[in-house]
Amino acid sequence: MNREKKFVLKDFLVSNALIIILVILAGVATWKNPNFVSLNNIRNMGINIGPRFLIALGVSGCLITRGTDLSAGRMVGLGACIAGTLLQSSTYSQKFFPNLGDMNVFAVLLIAVVICGVFGLMNGLVVAYLKVPPFIATLGVQTIVYGVCLVYTGAVPLGGYRRDYTVVATTSILGIPLFVLIAVVVGLLMWFLYNKTRHGKYMYAIGGNENAAEVSGVNVQRTLIKIYALAAMLYACGGFLIGAKAGGANVNTGFGYELEAIASCTIGGVSTTGGIGRVSGILIGVMVFEILKSSLQFLGVDTSYQYIVQGCVIIIAVALDLRKYLAKK
């Protein structure tokens, strides 16, 4: 009986090793610099978590269906650049469209969402109908999106944004940053989509066993197309928010965000083997990853080494996920 309890404890420690290590890391960061748990730092982490949560939500649908989306980061950059070129101040000397009047901020967001949605649709069509593995399909679209962004912007850095755009990053409602509120609203909508709609049931069924789902009457192709198109729309929203926060954008905005999103999803319980994942877990994964980065910064770890640590976290997260899958099997 004691051996059984000891084995369960060991299994728990191994399965949750990343979170335990990060909690210890956060504790050390707090001990070294109490400002780590200051209201200002917590607020900054919340603002950073907002757009990254949207990106992770987009990637999660692809992962649940045993796919992936390597084009996420480049679509984030495209969304940020589209918003940047259309929301520059009329007095800015290097305005991208000199004769363009002031456009409505929400209308620009819709334009970015639609354009990125087209590339997401491309991802879905290639995966669903051409049967190209998601890794290869989204890698190809990633390169296409990057090229389109280069052609569109001419690789010119963007800036001089209007106040009514950048204020989105600094606005709070009842003391809660607008970025956090947007993330909460989108998270609730995605939770409803995943758990209370036919689309969500189809998504999990495809991830569990695509052939069985198709035999059961699930339109696999249509569902996959919807998943990748919706993901791209979420990336555009994330890019729009990141552009507002940074006050500028360029073709490299969002570079590498897809790997961070995949890692966050995996840490949060979205299985790379398909069919498993919850919105609440994705949020936890994004928070854990953001705490990791903030802890390393407060501990004074060089930026170069931070990338090494983040890469190790990605490998460990996937390895632990596969270990759980093999144990269940």
Q: What is the pLDDT of residue 174?
A: 86
Comparing 52-66, 235-249, 270-284, the range with the smallest average pLDDT is: 270-284
**Residues sharing a CB contact under 8 Å with residue 288, sequence separation 6 or more, in sequence order:** 18, 19, 22, 264, 267, 268
What share of the chain has pLDDT > 70, as a percent? 93
Residues 204-213 have a mean pLDDT of 94
In the predicted structure, residue 195 carries a pLDDT above the cut 80:
yes
Token digits for 44? Answer: 């900054």
pTM of the model: 0.92
The chain-wide mean pLDDT, for the chain, equals 90
In the predicted structure, residue 97 carries a pLDDT above the cut 80:
yes
What share of the chain has pLDDT > 90, as a percent? 64
Q: What is the pLDDT of residue 1?
A: 43
In the predicted structure, residue 15 carries a pLDDT above the cut 80:
no
- 206 and 194 Cβ atoms separated by less than 8 Å: no
